[in-house]
Structure 1
Amino acid sequence: MGKQRYKLAMAGLAASLAVSMLVGCSSNSGTSGAGDVLHITMMNQYSSPEPPRADNPFVKKIEEYTNTKLDITWIPGSAYNDKVNVSIASNDLPQVLMVQDPKSSSIINAQRSGMFWEVGPYLKDYPNLSKYNANPLVLNNISVDGKVYGLYRARALARQGIAFRQDWLDNLGLKQPQTIDELYNVIKAFTLDDPDKNGMKDTFGLVEAEDSNSGMGAAGLSGFRTIASFFGAPNQWEVRDGQAVPEFMTEENMEALKFYKRLYDEKLLNQDFAATKAGKQGEQFYQGKAGMMFTTLDFIITGGNEMKKANPDAKVDIVSRIKGPKGERVFATTGYFGVFLFPKATVKTEAELKQLLAFFDKIVDDEMIFNWTWGIEGVHHTKDSTGEPTISDQTAYSNEVSPLKQLPTYDGALMIWKGKGEADNKFRTMMKDNEAIAVTNPAEPLISQTAVEKGTELNKIITDARVKFITGAIDEAGYNKEIERWRTQGGEQIIRDYTELLAKQGN
């Protein structure tokens, strides 16, 4: 391994540094001959406090196992999309380019122009990619004009739920909520009934935050789509009488809005929710100010550990199935977070493409799935006399293994591991079981040029209307006027686009 070096994340962003392993992301790096070490250049993002270090032992583990030299330029997540766009515009590309959103305008245009290899026909030739990277629903979601250009980084389809203070429930003698009414009653009790037993009215039931990147119809509240699904609303879009209908134009959506407005009016919800940045609601939860938040189900591990630091006696638990008018429903995610694309400018032959696909296939075989889960034996985990593994150095695992989970297309997220413990396997089981009741977005694989060009500004109309309705700045008639404004400024064309595309698919 060479020395770790830093590169600018993008032109003009001097504060954003990209860290390269080895010699950086150079298009001059090539594949090797058969039997020799394969050099791979890649650009990827990191969300950890620091990028993976050049001397990371898990990097060396991957390289030794796959007979490769990895030259990865790590870009901070906050600067990543800009860096991708700059790289595409300048044609300064690695052999492997991770993109967060394959449906962004620039990426769609690049795929349509023939800049990247179409990889869909090759997946069947790789035992692990064909198993972990070939879900028909997800492949459809990432496809462009029916073609699959990338390997998707699989994520659980049904991973959303509710985290709450189980010790507060115990203090109040309440059971975990199973219906919308019970959910409301718990939120109310967490606000009014002194759940922490300190003799003061210093708690509130639900903490919310803005979430401007969660897609059409979901932006503005991080948990709104979860609540809307409980009320029976569609997942962003539905097909009704042959026409595409956005979620925010349905009666079920309005019922969910009224539920939120009730929470706001009764001060059961943090009054500054619209100004609370996405991801920051956890801080109020950890501080013991709030008793409930909508989040991903793995929060029972990540959030539970943080809560223990702040309050060792606190107990965190999760639920996901809340019965509403249409029974138990959860919204389905896209099933992926980012895709790996292979530029033809740097991957010049089919043979080189196959070598890269073989690398991604090998890092999700059975042995590596175990390693992604537990790390390296003697460094991150130990085994008992029966061979059962246990994480032995959580700090090293968090610093060395977790950040590199940006690399595999599947990391064993739904696999049940005995040594992971009851809480860990609980959320994995819940995510797997909830796939049976997950409501998908029928418009996810569709491309409306109007949505690509105007989606961001149109989403803001709905975002603002939702917040104004909840806070009482507008009533239902005012909300409907904002929907009409959305329609006249481009939304009606999006409806027509999706209706036509869905008809072609036979929906």
Structure 2
Amino acid sequence: MTVMIYGCPGREEQTGTSGTSGAPNPPSADTGHPAEGASALSTVKLDMMENGWSNTPTDEADPWRKWIKDRFNIEMTMDAVPPGELEAKLLLRFSSSQPPDLIFSWDRNLIMKLHKQEVLLDDWTPYLSKLPHVMQTWNSQMRAHATVEGRIIGLPKLPEAFTWALMIRKDWLDALQLSPPATDTELLEVLRKFTYGDPDQNGKDDTWGISSAGSGSDVGELSILESMYGPSGFHIGPDGTVQHSVVNGTHLKFLAFMRTIVKEKLIDPDWYTQSWEQRKPKLFGGHIGIVHYPGAIVQEGERMNGATGRTVNWWDALQVPKGAEFGGRRPPAPIAGGLLAVSAQAAGDAEKMERILRFIDSTVYPTEGYWALRWGVGVNGQKVTDFGREAKFISLKEDPYRQEVKGANDWGTWVATSQDRVLESLRDSPGPADIKQLELDNKAMSMDSYTNYHELLHLDPQISSDLKKLTQEFDLKYILGEDSDYERFKQEWLQAGGRQLLEEASSQLRVRFHFDN
């Protein structure tokens, strides 16, 4: 799901921690000077394709591109692509024998698929000694996440602090004298009231209970609602067996709930087609009652409403309602925030690979280069100051370029981690919106989550991809009432490789967690 936790939304989400243990204070001095020996190096051209937040191009005045050139003698081009489009565009580039040099994806399965096709660097292990800063960010789970058959197929990014939660309009609850919903039935009643009860008291029929941003490919971030009924995807069930939500009925309960809210028109009518950015005018215009978002929703709302303070107290973080015995937790915190890979063609160029390694290791958190690439310190006039409460603060007033050219944020996608605890605002100094964001983030991080089993599995990437497409297609038809035969879909899912993946998952988890089933 496409989202940055502190400052700009991104999809992926997150660990359960938020501190900055061992991280130095961010630099405030100019970091635009060349890296040691960079001036003596020949210029190398690097082409990067990644999952971005804004997914829009920058222009010739882009100061980040200039900083990379000055610092590393690299002429960098970047193509930021929404998650649903990245695979098709990458396959086109590889088939035309013009692959990008660097690839960053939130979807590990995509990197696994490309690696299996032998178009990526086969194994990062021989290069790890040249990535000391990167290695300091890894833990054993991150390494296992990136290791397939003994080979490290990509560099796992630090996950975000797990600050995502269902955000609900607290002022609407108060206006309608409603309590926060604790069950799926209560949630349904709240959505009806939010849609048809004039919660903003403007006398107009212009509100919806809930929204999503499916970008024309899936249910978007509302997949979190499956957690009302139990864990999603592969997991170890309460009876000690490996299960999948498509097979054990959890997914069906979720689809039934989605069908109800679509049929009753309780959901924003553009929920499936709109992108994350396209949804924002309705969301911050005050027309949506519940959305899945991090605490940055406060800052973004203020930014789009003139920073008057009017929207600061709109939102509260909501625990996932309970719809079944083992439901009611948040999805698991991600082990990694995505994988960075290098094409085999780029890896075969010794000079280019040497420059790639230097660039990567010099811009990972919490290096000086991280603060430059992620936040613009020494690049675009940005300064990071201590806020207290283990947080740091950046004012966008010092960064006019990113305010006008949203695509500049995408330079930070592949290094970003909200473990840097940066809050971004239009204000000169921290204010009520910053305090509210911290409150929401801390509340979200305290919520109970499911265990992350899925990201420790290494399943056949092509089968996984095929099953994902099969599921996405059926989900939409079921939700829209065009297909009600879930049993037929389940059997098709099993025959299309689901049964094989269940066996693989059972075998791998049995070894890792030492259980019998």
Category of TM-score, reference length = shorter chain: 0.7 to 0.9
Report whether the alignment pairs 1:61 with 2:67. yes
Of residues 116, 121, 128, the one that matches 1:116 is 121
- Residue identity in the other structure for 1:190: F
Find the counterpart in structure 1 of residue 162 from structure 2.
158
From the superposition, tell whether residues 176 and 452 of structure 1 become closer, same or farther in structure 2 (CA, over 3 Å): closer
- Give, in angstroms, the shift of residue 222 of structure 1: 2.4
For 1:16-415, what aligned pairs fall within 5 Å after superposition? 36-37=40-41, 39-40=43-44, 41-45=46-50, 48=54, 50-64=56-70, 67-75=71-79, 77=81, 80-93=86-99, 95-99=101-105, 101-104=107-110, 108=113, 110-111=115-116, 113=118, 115-120=120-125, 122-123=127-128, 126-132=131-137, 134-156=138-160, 158-174=162-178, 176-177=180-181, 180=184, 182-208=186-212, 210=214, 213=217, 219=218, 221-231=219-229, 233-240=230-237, 244-264=242-262, 266-270=264-268, 272=269, 276-279=273-276, 280-306=278-304, 308=305, 313-315=310-312, 316-322=314-320, 324=322, 325-326=325-326, 329-332=329-332, 334-336=334-336, 338-348=338-348, 353=353, 355-364=355-364, 365-372=366-373, 374-376=375-377, 379-381=380-382, 390-399=395-404, 403-406=408-411, 409-415=414-420
Q: Distance in 1 between matches of 2:319 and 2:493?
A: 32
2:207–2:287 contact (8 Å) kept in structure 1: yes
Q: Distance in 1 between matches of 2:410 and 2:140?
A: 23
- Give, in angstroms, the shift of residue 467 of structure 1: 1.1
> Aligned to 2:151, what secondary structure does the other structure show?
coil
- Give, in angstroms, the shift of residue 89 of structure 1: 3.3
From the superposition, tell whether residues 454 and 312 of structure 1 become closer, same or farther in structure 2 (CA, over 3 Å): same
From the superposition, tell whether residues 395 and 439 of structure 1 become closer, same or farther in structure 2 (CA, over 3 Å): farther
Find the counterpart in structure 2 of residue 15 from structure 1.
none
- Residue identity in the other structure for 1:189: K
- Give, in angstroms, the shift of residue 186 of structure 1: 3.1
> Aligned to 1:410, what secondary structure does the other structure show?
coil
Deviations 1:37-83 (A, max 9, x none): 3644232346546423344223333444xx31222233352665444
- Residue identity in the other structure for 1:437: S
- Give, in angstroms, the shift of residue 305 of structure 1: 2.9
Find the counterpart in structure 2 of residue 480 from structure 1.
487
Q: Which moved more, 1:32-41 or 1:196-205?
A: 32-41
> Aligned to 1:235, what secondary structure does the other structure show?
coil
- Give, in angstroms, the shift of residue 236 of structure 1: 1.2
From the superposition, tell whether residues 282 and 257 of structure 1 become closer, same or farther in structure 2 (CA, over 3 Å): same
Q: Distance in 2 between matches of 1:36 and 1:341?
A: 27
- Give, in angstroms, the shift of residue 492 of structure 1: 3.0
- Give, in angstroms, the shift of residue 116 of structure 1: 0.7
Report whether the alignment pairs 1:494 with 2:501. yes
Deviations 1:200-220 (A, max 9, x none): 44433223454665xxxxx4x
Find the counterpart in structure 2 of residue 425 from structure 1.
438
From the superposition, tell whether residues 43 and 326 of structure 1 become closer, same or farther in structure 2 (CA, over 3 Å): same
Find the counterpart in structure 1 of residue 11 from structure 2.
none
- Largest Rg, 1 or 2: 1
Q: Distance in 2 between matches of 1:383 and 1:457?
A: 43
From the superposition, tell whether residues 175 and 96 of structure 1 become closer, same or farther in structure 2 (CA, over 3 Å): same
Q: Distance in 1 between matches of 2:385 and 2:511?
A: 57
From the superposition, tell whether residues 455 and 262 of structure 1 become closer, same or farther in structure 2 (CA, over 3 Å): closer
- Residue identity in the other structure for 1:195: P
> Aligned to 1:406, what secondary structure does the other structure show?
helix
Q: Distance in 1 between matches of 2:487 and 2:310?
A: 47
1:300–1:317 contact (8 Å) kept in structure 2: yes
1:159–1:297 contact (8 Å) kept in structure 2: yes
Q: Distance in 2 between matches of 1:392 and 1:311?
A: 15
Q: Distance in 1 between matches of 2:483 and 2:101?
A: 51
From the superposition, tell whether residues 393 and 90 of structure 1 become closer, same or farther in structure 2 (CA, over 3 Å): same
2:124–2:153 contact (8 Å) kept in structure 1: yes
> Aligned to 2:345, what secondary structure does the other structure show?
coil
- Supply the RMSD in Å over aligned alpha carbons: 4.2
- Residue identity in the other structure for 1:291: G
Deviations 1:135-173 (A, max 9, x none): 443443343334222223444273532233333234334
> Aligned to 2:416, what secondary structure does the other structure show?
coil
Gaps of 5+ in 2: 1-35, 424-428
2:142–2:336 contact (8 Å) kept in structure 1: yes
From the superposition, tell whether residues 304 and 455 of structure 1 become closer, same or farther in structure 2 (CA, over 3 Å): farther
- Give, in angstroms, the shift of residue 248 of structure 1: 2.2
- Residue identity in the other structure for 1:128: H
Q: Distance in 1 between matches of 2:292 and 2:309?
A: 22
Structure-2-length-normalised TM-score: 0.72
Structure-1-length-normalised TM-score: 0.73
Gaps of 5+ in 1: 1-31, 214-218
User: Number of paired residues?
Assistant: 458
Identity %: 17
2:295–2:440 contact (8 Å) kept in structure 1: yes
Q: Distance in 2 between matches of 1:457 and 1:50?
A: 26
Q: Distance in 2 between matches of 1:257 and 1:438?
A: 20
